[in-house]
A and B are shown apart, each in its own frame.
Chain A
Amino acid sequence: MAIDGFDNISKERLSALADGELDPAASTASCAAWSQDPQLRADWHAWHLIGDVLRSEDLATDPRHDRAFCARLRSRLNSEPVVLAPAALAGPFGSRLERPSHRGRWTAAGAVAAGFVLVVGTFAVVRPGESPPAQIARNDTAIAPSVTSAPAPEVSTQPVAVVADSKVIRDAQLERYLEAHKQFAGTSALGVPSAFLRSATVDSAAR
């Protein structure tokens, strides 16, 4: 990519980064500069747009559309529950395998991963717009990182919604409430016995 009139070394580096010519240390420095300088981000975006258009005219769209799309996506993502992938069934299948040490390792790893995701999710809502990344995110250009970005609609002290499987919130206390809730399964027009069958089939305390 040949661009005249670099006004500073950062742009030169950024251009080299775009061409994949920087060594790891220089890449890190360039990315750091990019994350702090809105002008550099605008350049980065413009250069890629130029490259895209050179390759295909179909890509010559108004960048404001991209930016608006990203902003909308970001705000929608913020108001979405955090989606956690369901864990594999460990119950009857796992026990049949009779490999306790192996199973134990996976269960522990899964629990750690799940805990981590929960913590991250909570963090993202509890502290919207306070950390430096959030400020970057607010500073336009469509490709700004969107770690916490737009103000979350929730009150900051409220916990974030998590879509989880029961392994994630395997909490004896919660299971008691689930049991108690299910005892009123007949409280539905689908009621007896359909809702009852449903609730009687699922043993929340044993999951």
Chain B
Amino acid sequence: MLLRAFVVLVSSWAAAAHGAPACSQIVVAASATAPSEMRAWLLRIHDAASRHNFQGTFVVSGGGNVASARIAHFCDGPNQYERIESLDGRQRRVYRHNDVVHTIWPANHVAMIEQRGMLSSFPALLQAGDDGIADWYEVRAEGSERVAGHEANVLAIRARAGLRYGYRLWADRASGLLLRAEVVGERGDILETSAFSDVVIGIRPQPESVLNEMRRLDGYRVVRPVLTPTRLEAEGWAMRQLAPGFRPVSCVSRQIEAAGDTGGEGAAPPVIQSIYSDGLTYVSVFIEPFRAARHAKPMFASIGATSTLSQRHGDWWVTIIGDTPPATLKIFAAALERRKP
């Protein structure tokens, strides 16, 4: 365990997160935290969700919208199971078994089956310490508060530089489970809150209940989005520079399918989706051929914590979406370059 000269504050919580056997208390800087510690907090939050069985009501609000869902999460050794039922708007159920995700719209009998390989990639990055998160964010413990009936440790994650939002996290003191998260804007305003309004941790796991539902697809039109891995360069594009701290994590060629749509509208040209992340947040860059009928107006907007930019780029139409301030998207837009005619 690295002890640094500037450390001042004692935190036993981080010690538990590190799994430090010898010293039950390690020393933590009040303001500037060691990179290892940032990772420790995040890893604990990560691990909590994969080690505990819980059930509750989850509410996300931001940008004038409120959405809530009933959630059950089960673990069985390395396997993860989830059932999410939306409580607002049209009926929708999401089932997850590791990185296989089924989304079901009972009203129009559509089921979407996805392989989300990305779901499992980040813990590895965190463990390797190769995430770079601590270069761009700093974390500070802010005491404890009660959330959804549980005593929680409060963590403030502040962006060291602009171009990204900050966060406040409430992690259950006993289990480490993330009970509440706020996305904090550049002026300290809260852009989005996601939180359990009630949650029971340590329930009996019932993975079969999720698996049974995932097998029951009779009478459903099954949609399987095809994501073909590619590289931006191979598609004739280049990013001259990335917004500071962001790095490419994935690039796919795909159809943009409206989830839950009943009918297709013919074969639209495929869209390139290139994904960038700074470890905490991420940005998608979509590129497709320009079609005048479709791509009438450029747009630059924010909804809650999500920003959107779409504009024409020669014969192409570029849409950039990120959970970042709008200025970050502009950097991506300006850096995108067509290399091949």
Contacts and interface: CB of A to CB of B under 8 A. Distances in A.
Q: Which of A167, A171, A200, A207 has the most C-beta atoms of chain B within 10 angstroms of its own C-beta?
A: A200
A160 B301 CA distance: 8
A188 interface: yes
Nearest to A192: B119
B133 A189 contact: yes
B65 A190 contact: no
A176 interface: yes
Contact of B64 (A166, A174, A189): A166
Contacts of A140: none
Interface string B281-307: 110101000000010011111110010
A165 B64 contact: yes
Interface stretch (B6-14, B207-215, B254-262): B254-262
B234 interface: no
Contact of B319 (A158, A177, A191, A193): A177
A186 B126 contact: no
A131 interface: no
B302 A81 contact: yes
Contacts of B159: none
B263 to A, nearest CB: 13
A161 B121 CA distance: 33
A92 to B, nearest CB: 6
B161 interface: no
B153 interface: no
Interface stretch (B16-24, B89-97, B144-152): B89-97
B249 interface: yes
B222 interface: no
B301 A191 contact: no
Interface residues of B, number: 82
Q: Which of A163, A175, A187 has the most C-beta atoms of chain B within 10 angstroms of its own C-beta?
A: A187
Contact of A192 (B42, B65, B80, B302): B80
A205 B105 CA distance: 12
A189 B122 contact: yes
A194 B69 contact: no
B258 A176 contact: yes
A188 B282 contact: yes
A166 B303 contact: yes
B58 interface: yes
B184 interface: no
Interface in B42-90: 42, 45-46, 49-50, 58-60, 63-69, 71, 73, 80, 82, 84, 86, 88-90
Contact of A165 (B257, B275, B303): B303
Contacts of A176: 256-259
A187 B277 contact: yes
A186 B121 contact: yes
A147 to B, nearest CB: 20
B64 A86 contact: yes
Given A91-B89, A163-B302, A201-B84, A187 B275 contact: yes
B250 interface: yes
Contact of A92 (B59, B89, B119): B89
Contact of B49 (A166, A173, A181, A194): A194
A168 interface: yes
A91 B91 CA distance: 12
Given A187-B275, A188-B277, A191-B119, 8 more contacts: A166-B64, A167-B64, A177-B286, A184-B250, A184-B275, A196-B119, A201-B60, A207-B89
Interface of B: 42, 45-46, 49-50, 58-60, 63-69, 71, 73, 80, 82, 84, 86, 88-90, 92, 94, 96, 103, 114, 116, 118-123, 125-126, 131, 133, 167, 169, 178, 181, 194, 225, 249-250, 254, 256-260, 271, 273, 275, 277, 279-282, 284, 286, 294, 297-303, 306, 308-311, 319, 321-322, 326, 330
Closest 5 CB pairs of A and B: A86-B64, A165-B64, A186-B119, A206-B89, A201-B69
29 contacts: A81-B302, A158-B300, A161-B301, A162-B301, A164-B301, A165-B303, A177-B256, A179-B258, A180-B286, A181-B284, A181-B321, A187-B275, A188-B282, A189-B122, A192-B46, A192-B80, A192-B120, A193-B82, A197-B71, A197-B84, A197-B194, A200-B103, A201-B67, A201-B68, A201-B86, A201-B194, A202-B67, A206-B92, A207-B65
